[in-house]
Structure 1
Amino acid sequence: MTRYPHLLRPLDLGHVTLPNRVLMGSMHTNLEETRDWNRVAEFYATRARGGVGLMVTGGMAPNREGGVFPGAAGLFTPEDIANQRIVTDRVHEAGGRIAMQILHAGRYAYGPDCVAPSPIRSPISPFPPKELDEAGIEKQIADIATAAARAREAGYDGVEVMGSEGYFLNQFLVTRTNRRTDRWGGAYENRMRLPVEVVRRVRAAAGADFILIYRLSMIDLVPEGSSWDEVVTLARAVEAAGASIINTGIGWHEARVPTIATSVPRAAFAWVTRKLMGQVAIPLVTSNRINTPEVAERVLADGCADMVSMARPFLADPDFVRKAATGRADEIAPCIACNQACLDHTFSGRISTCLVNPRAAHETELAIGQTETPRRVAVVGAGPAGMACALAAADRGHAVTLFEKSGRIGGQLNLARRVPGKEEFDLLVEWFTTMLSRKNIDLRLGEEADTAILAGFDAVVVATGVRPRDPAIPQGDGARVHGYADVLSGRVTVGRTAAIVGAGGIGFDVAEYLVQNAPSPTLSIDDWRSEWGVADPAAHRGGLADAHPEPAARTVTLLQRKPEKPGRNLGKTTGWIHRATLAAKGVRMLGGVNYERIDREGLHVTFGEARENPTLIKAESVILCAGQESEKTLADTLRAAGVEPHVIGGADHAAELDAKRAIDQGTRLGVAL
């Protein structure tokens, strides 16, 4: 008897039956742009072997002007079709099914040739779009239909027409971006004409026995977005035009509401899809922040959808479905929705991968095979780098002993999990705990390794992490100064007013910890919606209402030496969320300061190279978040004894607390040993 009867139930689409209710949602990984088709094929085939019911590729451009950036992949030539056939053949050999997403970016296209319904520039692009005339609109429709026909020729089982997230088809639907007065603008029946005609023409071009998914924006989260009546009207029209499945899209890329970051509650938008259930007869897919089989099962059992879309969870663990189906759900590597290695990479033009699983999109490079020469390997430090190395080395067949001088694993992850909005780190530490026990690793907690203990090993890995850097600010009598680790671990009590020295990632984390009244809104969908102003689109067009953040628990000032806006170097796709969260809580952020001294009144600072404008930041507590230094004592001692250790993670390089780099470095070393 399965624990997930709804999730694992087949779905009959008429001409084909999917083995379960799991859709691997579209992710643009930048893999197609490498033109390494064996690598692309192995990425998808690995997930097909893991049991996912249906996969959707990253967005493929229907034409040059519709690509998300110049040179974006698409099916433009016979060679393109042949290359995509390598991917689909590999997926089918693995027992999977795959659909190609057709994505026309419209005004989001990052290039001077972008086109749109009206010449209104996007706030996330410097390029003003050209307004399409009748002939131009017909060309876009024809090109999208041609892309679908070519996808079938390339062996795909279907296509997903991208009609949400503020892309081209979505831009025609709302008056925010469509100011036309012809038959493609004005009344809603005109504004929805383009997506409906696209679906009709795609169905005609691809044939009846072909999966056609339409990605429909069910809540735009932008001013002048669609009303709920318009969403329902479009869904019915899309069904009538020939769609097989309707997939849920949430929010435009320019929306100022987070939709998939770790601070968003799990299944935070399933209620939106549920509103559409019963309004159409074809299956509905719900999406966003569904990252465990338990959450997915509950969403389906509650009648929110017919199918669930999970994208990044298949970066974290390609065997998600197979593990759930075979009673090994606790072994599923969790997606923590951090965006650090996936979306941040995508929008930086890098290959997308996963903080938790660095092998994602690197399957051909980081293949873990059994070693022919097993060795005794000691890993010192059970933080993210050490644990990742120990697991990879054990998978290779080495005998691994993992030393941790404290009484628990996790290292700096145990601080991260205390930050409101980062509760998913709990799941990551639980997963490491499970996997260390399953891999027959000799875990020695509370034991500090030294040269004598390590003498008998064939290889020694030092992953001893970092120690906080002391900024050496003069302190007077009565100064109440705390390190960030003491604050986040709850070892000290912080006053009602606080000054934070250092506005990097740790400084922002500490600020969020200090201003948040328990419980965290991430743990309550209702509280989170109130905090960000997410409303029922039946009552508020676009699903936007006034935000009502809870009052801050403390008065906090966040400071940095750099003469720039604090938070500028935070994550590319999540930094704005942290800045907005603290701004809503009234946190004052100051750059270009000099720290002169700390006393019982608070923190004394000046500004600029000339040290002008002396200012007292009144604070009952001052928290130091001024960076870290590598903890290399053991490594230096080993070298002095003639042993050359492998040094990884923070012990190798201290630059903020970087779990992404630590886990990647640990995994790569474990594979190479």
Structure 2
Amino acid sequence: MLKMVKNYEKLFERGKIKNMSLKNRIVMSPMGTFSENHDGFPSGAQIEYYRRRARGGIGMLIIEAQYCTNKTDPWIDYITTADTDQQMKGWSYIIEAIHSEGCKACLQIGCGLGRNAFPFSDAQMVSASEVPSFYFPDKLCRAFTIDEIHDLVGAFGRAAQRAVVAEADAIEIHAHSGYILDQFMTPAWNKRTDEYGGSFENRMRIVKEIYEAMRAAVGPDFPILMRMAADHDFDGGRTLEESIQIVNYMKELGVDAFDIDMGCYEDKQWICPSIYQGDSCMVDYAAKIKEACDVIVLCAGNHSPESAEKALEEGKVDYIMMGRPLIADPDLPNKLLEGRREDIRPCLLCNQICVGRLYENRKIGCAVNTVAVAEQDYTFKKTDSPKKVAVIGGGPGGLEAARVAALQGHHVTLYEKNNVLGGQFNAASAPKFKHRLREFIDWEILQCEKAGVVFKLNTTITPDSPELEDKDRIIAAMGASPFLPNIPGIENAVEVCDAHLHPEKISGQKFVVCGGGISGCDEALELAMDGKDVTIIEMQDQLCPTALLDNRNPLMFRLRDNHVKSMVSTTIKEIRPDGVVAEGPDGEVEVSADCIIAAFGTKPNSEYVDALCEKYPTTLVIGDCVKVGQVAEAVRGGFFAAYSLH
């Protein structure tokens, strides 16, 4: 075993929190799945989701926030099991599923989001004080009454007692992200003048009383953790120095370990950090807490196995927390343990399905692992009637379709017109901060090879191609091509994918990027990080207007930090060898440049789709050749198309 884990010795060291022994240093982060039944009782899908992550080899799983009351946020009033023995019974089902796979179970207990509550209800939100709602700044929250605070403290104590009955191994106080308890702890949101506001001791009073109620319920030897941010990272938010004071205070009370992260909803970029923050992006802040307070520290935030091992080796943290990587591949720990690093499906940190669906009040999923939170619904078994399957297109959607079809026992041939697989991911993965896209394509190719997929490169397929004549099923995944509008001088620009793939085509110091979508902004950021002078010109009134807030904010902050200029509500009129002519709010303007990048988006490769479907009616069409989308539409579309070939 030591030989198998020689590159990850620290990750697989045993650990101990209070009297709880853990088989390794990998902990699953608590991430809301929205998969419970409407009354808050666990669904079968939720139980199996957790069972599957525990089976993958983690040391401890922290179950997503369990509300000890439904009387705070209006949008959680549907959780009628809160603060009942029925809730305890539901917890026991999840915990037994986790224990059955040799993993420890920790219950994160919370009381709601307060001013940050999702806007799924028109009722007035509640907070420590009468402060504006995050999503509706023109609406004030009402303040908790003293009686409500006392009721809340009691509810936490009862939840802790029920956690013990349900056989949880530990509990965690949910006090991060600017949620309700954080709103009491932080002067920016706590404007109270009674015993729960004002001084440090008063602001901490509710957390102190909650801890004491929980400790009284669980006894002196039961591990209690606390999750909180080291720094809120916005003007007026809590600083690192104030967080150190809080950790020392709670340590003296008896909290056994601290789950340290960063940020809150203001300038939101740390709740689910994106690719733009880099690997292990919160470790240094967690390390400062550990050093100053001499406490056990757990830390999440974009860990790769290598960056996680490094953080442990350097003593910056005691436990590595992973959320989205374990949604993408629940077997990540076991694959490391078995020396199969290359078989780990990479998390793209895209936030598209695991976070984006939360804003839609939907059960989460994963852009690259379609079965996540749906483990009961999809099982792979070899078909009794294997088919000859042609997949046209070697981008992410086509590769996923080929992989899944082959796993079911079909004979799969994938045709790609270019000499490399990967489609548009080859260009998109060029910036260093998007290396995970390249890793995902490499993973797909490897898994296809292991499943027996035959690749035919440099092969263009049309409806009349003889290669299709003996196929039983066809999956069309031809992707998309760059869109170049009919602008005078467009030939003077280098198309953005070409710029990524052939950097020798771009030169100079001063660049104009025409188009402020994700691809244009990524190219601008990459250039600026190389010291170039970059201006983005975008016809809409903001850059990346449709991007998820959790992705857009960090990208905008990185563009700002790298001094990228932008001109919005501005239309390109002409592209010249030495710059562009544009029309903006103040009229026509000329912007000089050594090099112009065209990033106007893409268009579906739909040239042959209708004819193909007419000739071969059972053809399944997926991805960008239907409608240009993001990675989830391609990969999940490929999965569904292939899975349907029973």
Give the TM-score of the pair, scaled to structure 2.
0.89
Q: Deviation per CA, 1:89-123, whole angstroms, max 9, x where unpaired?
A: 33333333322222232332346443333322254
Which residue of 2 is the match for residue 231 of structure 1?
Answer: 243
Which residue of 1 is the match for residue 75 of structure 2?
Answer: 69
Distance in 1 of aligned mates of 2:511 and 2:556? 18
Kindly tell me: are residues 616 and 136 of structure 1, through their superposed partners in 2, closer, same or farther at Cα, counting changes over 3 Å? Answer: same
Distance in 2 of aligned mates of 1:299 and 1:586? 30
Distance in 2 of aligned mates of 1:223 and 1:470? 42
Which residue of 2 is the match for residue 613 of structure 1?
Answer: 587
575-584 or 376-385, which deviates more:
575-584
Which residue of 1 is the match for residue 117 of structure 2?
Answer: 109
Which of 423, 426, 438 is matched with 1:426 structurally?
Answer: 438
Matched letter for residue 662 of structure 1:
A
**Alignment pair present for 1:132 and 2:122:** no
Distance in 2 of aligned mates of 1:305 and 1:154? 29
8 Å CA contact 1:51, 1:319 repeated in 2 = yes
Matched ranges for 1:230-379 at <5 A: 230-255=242-267, 258=270, 260-277=273-290, 283-292=296-305, 294-379=306-391
8 Å CA contact 2:512, 2:595 repeated in 1 = yes
8 Å CA contact 1:507, 1:558 repeated in 2 = no
Which of 451, 454, 463 is matched with 2:477 structurally?
Answer: 463
Which residue of 2 is the match for residue 557 of structure 1?
Answer: 536
Partner of 2:287, secondary structure, is helix
**Deviation for aligned residue 1:365:** 2.4
**Alignment pair present for 1:98 and 2:105:** yes
Matched letter for residue 666 of structure 1:
G
**Alignment pair present for 1:46 and 2:57:** no
Which of 662, 668, 671 is matched with 2:634 structurally?
Answer: 662
Which of 220, 230, 255 is matched with 2:232 structurally?
Answer: 220
8 Å CA contact 2:232, 2:239 repeated in 1 = no
**Deviation for aligned residue 1:435:** 2.0
Which residue of 2 is the match for residue 401 of structure 1?
Answer: 413
**Alignment pair present for 1:417 and 2:429:** yes
Distance in 2 of aligned mates of 1:107 and 1:185? 17
**Deviation for aligned residue 1:125:** 4.3
**Deviation for aligned residue 1:298:** 1.8
Which of 36, 45, 55 is matched with 2:61 structurally?
Answer: 55
Matched ranges for 1:518-529 at <5 A: none
Partner of 1:422, secondary structure, is helix
Q: Deviation per CA, 1:598-620, whole angstroms, max 9, x where unpaired?
A: 34454334469xxx934434444
Structure 2, unaligned runs of 5 or more: none
Which residue of 1 is the match for residue 557 of structure 2?
Answer: 580
Kindly tell me: are residues 640 and 287 of structure 1, through their superposed partners in 2, closer, same or farther at Cα, counting changes over 3 Å? Answer: closer
Which residue of 2 is the match for residue 143 of structure 1?
Answer: 155
Partner of 2:230, secondary structure, is strand
Distance in 2 of aligned mates of 1:638 and 1:171? 58
**Alignment pair present for 1:649 and 2:627:** no
Distance in 2 of aligned mates of 1:317 and 1:195? 35
Distance in 2 of aligned mates of 1:465 and 1:654? 8
Distance in 2 of aligned mates of 1:620 and 1:402? 41
8 Å CA contact 2:276, 2:555 repeated in 1 = no
Q: Deviation per CA, 1:336-378, whole angstroms, max 9, x where unpaired?
A: 2121221222233222222221221122223333322222222
Which residue of 1 is the match for residue 94 of structure 2?
Answer: 87
8 Å CA contact 1:245, 1:284 repeated in 2 = yes
Matched letter for residue 661 of structure 1:
E
Distance in 2 of aligned mates of 1:594 and 1:107? 39
8 Å CA contact 2:475, 2:641 repeated in 1 = no
Distance in 2 of aligned mates of 1:299 and 1:601? 47
**Alignment pair present for 1:161 and 2:173:** yes
Kindly tell me: are residues 402 and 209 of structure 1, through their superposed partners in 2, closer, same or farther at Cα, counting changes over 3 Å? Answer: farther
**Alignment pair present for 1:625 and 2:599:** yes
Give the TM-score of the pair, scaled to structure 1.
0.86
8 Å CA contact 2:427, 2:498 repeated in 1 = no
Q: Deviation per CA, 1:533-577, whole angstroms, max 9, x where unpaired?
A: xxxxxxxxxxxxxxxxxxx612313222x4x33322112321122
Distance in 2 of aligned mates of 1:365 and 1:467? 34
Distance in 2 of aligned mates of 1:56 and 1:113? 31
Partner of 1:219, secondary structure, is coil
309-318 or 504-513, which deviates more:
504-513
Distance in 2 of aligned mates of 1:510 and 1:566? 13
8 Å CA contact 1:498, 1:555 repeated in 2 = yes
**Deviation for aligned residue 1:651:** 1.7
**Deviation for aligned residue 1:52:** 1.3
8 Å CA contact 1:263, 1:420 repeated in 2 = no
8 Å CA contact 1:418, 1:513 repeated in 2 = no
Which of 458, 468, 471 is matched with 1:454 structurally?
Answer: 468
Which residue of 2 is the match for residue 524 of structure 1?
Answer: none
Which of 26, 30, 49 is matched with 1:26 structurally?
Answer: 30
Matched letter for residue 34 of structure 2:
N
Q: Deviation per CA, 1:257-292, whole angstroms, max 9, x where unpaired?
A: 556111112112222222333666763212212132
8 Å CA contact 1:214, 1:247 repeated in 2 = yes
**Deviation for aligned residue 1:495:** 4.7
Kindly tell me: are residues 501 and 306 of structure 1, through their superposed partners in 2, closer, same or farther at Cα, counting changes over 3 Å? Answer: closer
**Alignment pair present for 1:513 and 2:526:** yes
Distance in 2 of aligned mates of 1:229 and 1:636? 63
**Deviation for aligned residue 1:449:** 4.2
**Alignment pair present for 1:566 and 2:561:** no
8 Å CA contact 1:61, 1:68 repeated in 2 = no
Matched letter for residue 42 of structure 1:
E
Kindly tell me: are residues 13 and 430 of structure 1, through their superposed partners in 2, closer, same or farther at Cα, counting changes over 3 Å? Answer: same
Kindly tell me: are residues 210 and 368 of structure 1, through their superposed partners in 2, closer, same or farther at Cα, counting changes over 3 Å? Answer: farther
Distance in 1 of aligned mates of 2:311 and 2:572? 51
Kindly tell me: are residues 498 and 274 of structure 1, through their superposed partners in 2, closer, same or farther at Cα, counting changes over 3 Å? Answer: closer
Matched letter for residue 460 of structure 1:
I
8 Å CA contact 1:377, 1:398 repeated in 2 = yes
Partner of 1:277, secondary structure, is helix
RMSD: 2.8
8 Å CA contact 1:100, 1:151 repeated in 2 = yes
Distance in 2 of aligned mates of 1:642 and 1:230? 66
8 Å CA contact 1:75, 1:151 repeated in 2 = no
Distance in 2 of aligned mates of 1:426 and 1:48? 28
Distance in 2 of aligned mates of 1:68 and 1:48? 32
8 Å CA contact 2:127, 2:180 repeated in 1 = yes
Q: Deviation per CA, 1:425-455, whole angstroms, max 9, x where unpaired?
A: 2322332233233223222333444521232
The percent identity for this pair of structures is 24
Q: Deviation per CA, 1:494-548, whole angstroms, max 9, x where unpaired?
A: 554444333322232233233331xxxxxxxxxxxxxxxxxxxxxxxxxxxxxxx
**Deviation for aligned residue 1:318:** 0.7
**Alignment pair present for 1:185 and 2:185:** no
Kindly tell me: are residues 144 and 445 of structure 1, through their superposed partners in 2, closer, same or farther at Cα, counting changes over 3 Å? Answer: same
Kindly tell me: are residues 553 and 281 of structure 1, through their superposed partners in 2, closer, same or farther at Cα, counting changes over 3 Å? Answer: closer
8 Å CA contact 1:42, 1:364 repeated in 2 = yes
Kindly tell me: are residues 93 and 256 of structure 1, through their superposed partners in 2, closer, same or farther at Cα, counting changes over 3 Å? Answer: closer
- Number of residues paired by the alignment? 629
Kindly tell me: are residues 281 and 220 of structure 1, through their superposed partners in 2, closer, same or farther at Cα, counting changes over 3 Å? Answer: same
Matched letter for residue 370 of structure 2:
P
